[in-house]
Amino acid sequence: MKKANGKSETEMAGLDLEHELPPADGDENPSDPAAGGAGESSAADAELQKLKAERDSLLDRLARAQAEFENARRRAAKEQQDFRDYAAADAIKPLLPVLDSFERALLVKSDPADFRSGVELIYKQLQDALARAGVRAIPAKGEPFDPHVHEAIEMVETSDAADHEVIEELQRGYKIKDRLLRPAMVKVAKNP
């Protein structure tokens, strides 16, 4: 009686042969003439070894790629943290000469007129350093009120200025390039 998958022909008569699983690796008998002989078995073993070697190679490549990705992620995170920690250095460096000028001005004993002119020079030096960094003052007095760049502190009833015109700047506002750093605090005219 012929056997397939460990079942006899009588047992297989009621089974769906199209959906039957192939025999397991250990189920075949190499001495069985129906198994195909030793030549096919050694070819199958060689193919199996080749596939196992390829699988091992691919798993190794996957593990290396994952490790490389993790290292790149850690490196990028460290670079971002370093950038955050030292980003202010470029903005602060041009201000150091201004600080030096203030220290020298405080050490010198001179008359008030000379002191004032020295402070004005330092103020100009500070404005230049900020301008190089892209910081500029927001015009306010005499301008129409703009809620995007002005912060109204008080509305003053007056007929001396146009309605919603800034009549006084209490604190100067600044932009860095196109981004608002601080709005200008202003008093705005309101016509009666």
Domain span at 166: 135-192
Is 0.75 topped by the overall pTM?
Answer: no
Give yes or no: residues 81 and 98 share one domain: no
In tens, the pLDDT along 47-95 reads 999 999 999 999 999 999 999 999 999 999 999 988 888 887 877 888 8
Give yes or no: residues 192 and 155 share one domain: yes
| Residue 18 placed within a domain | no
In whole angstroms, give the CA distance from residue 19 to residue 3: 17
The band of 103, judged by pLDDT with boundaries at 50, 70 and 90, is: confident
Q: Identify which of 117, 116, 118, 112 has the alpha carbon closest to the alpha carbon of residue 100.
A: 118
Give yes or no: residues 69 and 112 share one domain: no
pLDDT value at residue 16: 57
Give yes or no: residues 141 and 179 share one domain: yes
Give yes or no: residues 143 and 115 share one domain: no
pLDDT value at residue 20: 58
Give yes or no: residues 51 and 96 share one domain: no
**How many domains, the chain?**
3
| Residue 7 placed within a domain | no
| Residue 80 placed within a domain | yes
| Residue 17 placed within a domain | no
CB of 177 within 8 A of CB of 169? no
The band of 107, judged by pLDDT with boundaries at 50, 70 and 90, is: confident
Sheet containing 166-171: order of strands: 150-157, 184-190, 166-171
Give yes or no: residues 99 and 151 share one domain: no
pLDDT value at residue 149: 95
pLDDT value at residue 106: 82
In tens, the pLDDT along 113-150 reads 888 888 899 999 999 988 988 899 999 999 999 999 99
What are the DSSP E strand ranges found in the chain? 3-4, 7-8, 135-137, 150-157, 166-171, 174-176, 179-182, 184-190
| Residue 13 placed within a domain | no
Give yes or no: residues 157 and 110 share one domain: no
Give the CATH number, domain containing residue 188. Answer: 2.30.22.10
Give yes or no: residues 146 and 191 share one domain: yes
pLDDT value at residue 14: 56
In tens, the pLDDT along 8-31 reads 555 555 555 565 556 655 544 444
